[in-house]
Structure 1
């Protein structure tokens, strides 16, 4: 009995520490793992078995793939079309439905890894909090993955255990009978009510906006601009976060102030004031060009060779008193000026006509050695790195996207059975072809997330070894057996869901499978509906960030707290249990 009491106490303390955020989740879990080993619940090998787990290692490789995918503009444009220009009442329908559909046929872990940075950029561009969208991203992939046999590894795990026990296993769409209604109701719930429980936290850009460090910039409109002949309002240039269109120059005629109904024509020069990050994003817009210079074409920039810098003009700088047009900056410094900032004042003037003054800050695009070359120069009183943004030429970005699709296809269609192998090969090819450097690949990996995943396996083993899992599951199921089939279905769902929240989805499925099979044999019923319940419940992890890998992946980028998942996910877990219980009963037991 010592093992049961000791393990229960450790898990209780772990849960309290996570909810109250006493320390980082990774530190809490590693401490829990060591406590279980010191108490003799798990061996040292069992404690650290998660560190060699293929799922955990695959997530590490997928971080590299996702980071490299930032060089492709195809995902950005797809998300832009799905989400639109603004957040209205239909945005969660538009957002979650296609992602859930994709997750039914694509593994949800690489799907989240690929979309996460894209959605964060879209949120920054439109002045929205990423915390309003990253939990829905994870939840959409989870519920979509429950709908088909290949949607998530959990379904395949349960399917494999059924085959091992002489059962027929799932057909490709067997799980859809209960999971599809769940997905539709979940998306409707989130779109109408659930999004209200999501936190809205300011990111660094929002805080940066408040400092009003605005630079002035000038761009010309080219023939490939997608909003040619559209109004300023239709082109979404009126309410950009951290960016203000203050003037249009058309055939030597100044248009200021700029009306929302003003149309944008070929050859127009647009003048903006904005923050470095919003300026950098603006320059990636097709059809807007800063300069005619192939070496410094920002849309095909290689971030390993070029970067952005901020340089403050000193009192003795030879640039003082000259306009940007006169100073021949490109030739002298082998760099180009993207924007100019002056002591918190908004400069309402064409960039080329701005006369440079002491303490002006120049937002510069240059070769990587610019700061080393000029930091000690009397021309500038300060030179510092500015926007750190991963980018590659368009060809390499397209290759990154093709490699990602090939990786997913190879796993989906059975060319390889290992996501770890597919992800590792893809990451290796990306490094070899210089889509991502070895240094950037190392920076791309979120080691905190990997540590949490690895520890979860060892903790799950401790819960199993101690007898806590079997004792709790048996008592809960016996307690509701008087409610008949509906009670049994609901019990299997909720006990599996609880275990998924505190260990892992696959471990929870493996733990409850023999209990569910034993119940089916004792009641002399077809085990298939109980296995459908088990598979969906093992994936339906919404209430904690540690229960499912996709929740962990959005945890840090969304700036979430443990309690955020409890607020939104507890209702989701309850809703899922009710819907699955009803659907399984109606589909499989109504005629009995």
Structure 2
């Protein structure tokens, strides 16, 4: 005989399994969240138990207004990207930067401001090339700018309902719970967001000098040669056959050295100066971008398997592109050889870098991971096409191309400003403003319908929709109330302690799951805890908004952190050392401001 509360225990078990599988990255986030929801729906269908989500309950999350608004904002930002509107809005300010401190001040303030009114993830994606070029111009390590860029975007996104997908989602869940409470104001999160952003930016600017090491970027002209792996083959008919590595001049290359040689029979040998090389040997070298370009000019070395010679583009029209693998890339988990870059992208992988690691073995056997930096030889159209498909976060091209439709950048900026003003003044709803702006971007040819359609981050949207279903299941099964009871026992009768417990639990979920999924799962728990403690529900709602965005400790809790991980050459400990003080600053600010705003007792 099964106990009456078995649906609650099943839901808790599935939720814990989801958290663990996400923590160990068993599979893609969207697949894991969908699978967890599918288990609960399947059991409900088989048993008919009313305490588990029905198929209709599961599907409800995908019709959520917040989710639709997020999708529309992706298309709006595409209009800015495809016209160079973001660069136009920030380039004039960044062009005056003379040193690191000046660059950080000129970059962080506008980025935080922009992120308050646009979804912060595409803002960072659009500014990556701008910041990367700024670092090159100032001759400083991009690591001094990229992680601060991500953190500033996260902080700015906390200030308004439109700044991050998390805030839009929580707002819609809040309205759905109790229509009598009405809507949240556009600047409701600003009570915590603005002071947290100001304090956070001060910390970033003054502490980065000591706490943020000057990492070498994964792909850079001044790169540490032990971070970038490239592979070349000895031409059997070329002049290098039979020579030693020393005689071939491969020991004299600046910023580049031969690490290993793979013989024609598959044997891999450590490279020594007096070692002879033969036709069809694969030379595995490690070095910097400029050195790789020079290496390709040496007679007698060719790209393995002649991939670049099979490209459907004349050699004189090709360009080298630095691309960071997006978490949405369909090739994740496959080897470079299995990725079939030539047929899928009309591009060839020249080299690959992964953080500070030197990759072992043949280039074609390297399995692709999010954050990997690839150096590709491709057609000039690759930059435009992949920006639409979002398989890669494109950093820059070695030979920079012009931005398309730049004459419409002013129109794109005007449409975006109009959307923000109308939504902020509550003239129309955020959904309506985003919908009209999306149509205007296409109508005024700032982007095409195809580009707008391709801009949708389906992985993010699927995670949000499925996570809403999981949150509903937590409420329906009684699991949310059970966890809330546990939090109240932990907090005693103190609303501040309850607020702190919800905040910490949400931050932990965010680092393990992702921000939107953490918010959807924690919302019903916080809502159940508010009533017995006599707390205004809005206080816990704002607490979740801030905590779900406050992901500063890992490269994977927030998309912007993942985007800068590989290209900045960061290590995991950089996020912990630099992000932990910032997390504590935001936590303390949230506790003080929420207790003051909602008159909560200790």
Say whether the fold is shared (TM-score over 0.5): yes
Do structure 1's residue 578 and structure 2's residue 532 form an aligned pair? no
Aligned counterpart for 1:472 among listed residues 483, 501, 505: 483
Q: Which residue of 1 aligns with 2:327?
A: none
- Secondary structure at 1:123 match in 2: helix
Q: Does 1:362 align with 2:316?
A: yes
The answer to whether structure 1 residue 6 and structure 2 residue 10 are counterparts is: yes
Q: Which residue of 2 aligns with 1:411?
A: 423
* Alignment correspondent of 1:399: 411
Change (3 A) 1:18 1:162: closer
1:24-63 equivalences under 5 Å are 24-40=28-44, 41-63=52-74
Structure 2: give runs of 5+ residues left out of the alignment: 45-51, 137-141, 233-287, 300-313, 320-345, 347-376, 385-402
SS at match of 2:158: helix
2:530 to 516, 521, 534: 516
Q: CA, structure 1 residues 397+407, in 2 after alignment: closer, same or farther (shift >3 Å)? A: same
Distance 2:574 2:60 in 1: 27
CA distance, structure 2, for counterparts of residue 514 and residue 450 of structure 1: 26
Which residue does the alignment assign to 2:160?
145
CA contact (8 A) 1:500 1:538 kept: no
Please give the TM-score of this superposition, normalised by the length of structure 1.
0.57
Q: 2:218 aligns with which of 202, 208, 221?
A: 202
**What CA deviation, in whole Å up to 9, does each residue of 1:67-94 have, x standing for no partner?**
2212334421443455565772565554
- 1:577 deviation in Å? 3.2
Determine if contact 2:30/2:462 at 8 Å carries over to the other structure: yes
1:18/1:562 contact within 8 Å kept: no
Q: Report the counterpart of residue 343 of structure 1 in structure 2.
A: 297
Query: In the alignment, what sits opposite 1:386?
Result: 380
State the TM-score, normalized to the length of structure 2: 0.56
How far off is 1:417 after superposition? 0.9
Asked if 1:505 is matched to 2:516, the reply is no
Contact 1:449 1:553 in 2 (8 A): no
Corresponding residue number in structure 2 for 1:135: 150
Which is further off, 551-560 or 397-406?
551-560
CA distance in 2, matches of 1:585, 1:147: 24
Larger radius of gyration: 1
| Alignment RMSD | 5.1
Distance 2:99 2:147 in 1: 10
**Is the 2:500–2:591 contact (alpha carbons within 8 Å) kept by the matching residues of 1?**
yes
Cα 1:510/1:435, change in 2 over 3 Å: same
- Answer yes or no: is the 8 Å Cα contact 1:6–1:39 preserved in 2: no
The 10-residue stretch of structure 1 (10-19 or 488-497) with the greater mean CA deviation from structure 2? 488-497
Aligned equivalent of 1:113: 122
Q: Does 1:536 align with 2:530?
A: no
How far off its partner does 1:119 sit? 3.1
Alpha-carbon shift at residue 16 of structure 1 (Å): 1.9
Q: Deviations for 1:94-120, whole angstroms, at most 9, x for unmatched residues?
A: 44444434555x3x42x5434531234
Aligned length: 425
Show CA shifts across 1:544-565 (max 9, x none): 69x9x99347656866999899
CA contact (8 A) 2:160 2:188 kept: no
For residues 142-201 of structure 1, the C-alpha deviation after alignment (integer angstroms, 9 at most, x for no partner) is 3333899x995478569868995579x988877655544333333334445577499986
Change (3 A) 1:497 1:471: farther
Q: 1:457 aligns with which of 462, 465, 468?
A: 468
2:20 is matched with: 16
- Rounded Cα–Cα distance in structure 2 between residues aligned with 1:510 and 1:469: 6
Relative to structure 1, the CA distance from residue 486 to residue 431 in structure 2 (aligned partners, 3 Å threshold; closer, same or farther) is closer
